[in-house]
Every structure is written in structure tokens, then in C-alpha cells.
Amino acid sequence: MKRPTNLLAAGALAALTIALPAVAQDFDKVEVTAEKAAGNIHVLFGAGGNIGVSSGADGVFIIDDQYAPLTPKIRAAVKGISDQPIRYVINTHYHGDHTGGNENFGTGGSVIVAHDNVRVRLAAGSFVKAFNMKNPPAPSGALPVITFDSELSLHFNGEEARAIHVKNAHTDGDSIIWFRGSNALHMGDTFFNNRFPFIDVDGGGSINGIIAAAEKALRIADDKTVIIPGHGPLTDKAGLTEYRDMLIEARSRVEALKKKGESLEAIVAAKPLADMPAKWQTDNEAWPGMFIGFVYNSL
């Protein structure tokens, strides 16, 4: 079903920097900062998806790598944590704000690891209908060279990092990364902390899958687990539980209206999520409507 043009345009502006390839951004002004998460794990904040960093005697590996122009700043931030080389990069999914630095790191000696579908989508190129964004095929140096179907373990820096595929969540190639020893969990874009998430329906994502991903993570986590979202600040099991509950409530409201035969346009106009806590709404008034569209089109 066709979306209202004004809603698409406004919503796209709200999401360009959280989901898609580099657009007109001034990367010179971006500051990449590091924060200790837990154990051997840090998180880097910059422009794009949050980067997990494991450091120790074996070297460094990172989870996601934001945009290509930020690679020097990312390397500098990692140097502030460890002078060891970055041996591996794990991509949580295919979007450009998480994989844009792949070629820089891959040709620089890092081994890129991801779910099978990440390599497929990067190699083929993609089109994200919700934002009218075409992504060309990635160069060979940007493609993951180790891929997996369900789960993969990297035994590194004295602990197991378990990459776990969660089906049809934010995309069809999402992984969450569980650091068993450090008790930290990187959620990728299956978790947008403090906002309604972007669900890439055209890329295989769904509201049911993103809820299932949260529930899987909650079964892994305990009350001391540090949780790294794809976007937003660090949180814990309670924060993820609140997010999961919001997703379930949003699905229930949209699904009930869809079952009554209401069109997407009518549901968006009715603003069924308007009374939900302000933290989820963001400062862009069109974004709740975009989120309703993601839910509606994936049910």
C-alpha cells in the first residue's frame, strides 16, 4: 500500500542517520567516543550503529564499523583502548551505518564475519523501499569472508563471543553477540534504545521477529548483564524488558486495527501509539507513523 508522501519524506529524514548508507553528513564534525561496558568490552559511539570492542591479549575485534569516512576516527578510538591490531569485524546486519567501514578494515587485514544473508545482501546491493534508497553492490573487499547460518563462536581474549542469528527481526541477517565472560550482550539493530525502531521489512525484518529477538536476549541476560543496543545508550535487562513490552503493545494496537479492515493511512491518522511514553516517540513527529507502517506491513 502506498504511503503518504509527506510522511515518507519526514520519516526518512529521521532515520537516514540510524539505518542507511552515508548521506550528506559532515563526518569531520563527528566525534567517536569510547565507554567501558563490562569486562573486556567497550562501546564506541559516533555516527551510525554502536560499535562493540573486545580487547585483550589476543588483540582486538569489533562489532560493526559505522561509515567509511569514520574509519580513521574509529581506529584512533580503539588505539585509546588497546594498541593491538583489529583482527576481526563482526557485522550485526547489512545496513551501511554498520558495514560502511568494511572495505577499509577488510583490506587492512581484519577478517569480516557475518550471517550468510549479510554477505548475500551486500554482494547483490539492495533497495530500501521505505526510504527510497538504493544501495549498490559492495566491493569484494567489503564482503564478509566467514559466514554462518545459525550460531558461531569466537574464542578470543579469554572468553567466548557467541554470535547468534535471530530470524527476520530488524532484517533477515541479524546477529546478537553474547560475551559470556564479560556478561555483555550486543543487540545490533534488534534494539533501538529509547525510540521506536526501524524495521527493514523489505530486507526481511518483521515486528514478530524483532520481538522474538528481544525475548531471546532476555533469556540470555541476567540482572547484571550490560546490554549494548544498536542505537542509544547502554542499558540492562530492565531496559530491554521495557523495550520488549513496548513492542508487544504496539503490535497489539496496530494488529487490532488492521484486523478491523482499517487501511495503513487510516491507522496512521488515528495515532494509536500517541499515548505511549514520550521516550519512544523521538523528536520527529512523523516517526511514530513510519513505525506503524513497519508493523502494519510485516503483520
Phi, psi of 222 (to 5 degrees): -120, -175
Residue 213: count of CB within 10 angstroms of its CB:
28
- Cα–Cα distance between 274 and 290 in angstroms, integer? 13
User: Tell me, what's the pLDDT at 25?
Assistant: 73
Q: What is the pLDDT of residue 24?
A: 53
pLDDT value at residue 19: 47
Cell, residue 190: 534488534
Give the residues of the chain that fall short of pLDDT 50: 1-21
CB 114 within 8 A of CB 189: no
| Vertex 98 angle, CA 122 and 75, to 5° | 120
Angle between helices 237-259 and 207-220 (to 10 degrees): 160
- Output the pTM of the full model: 0.92
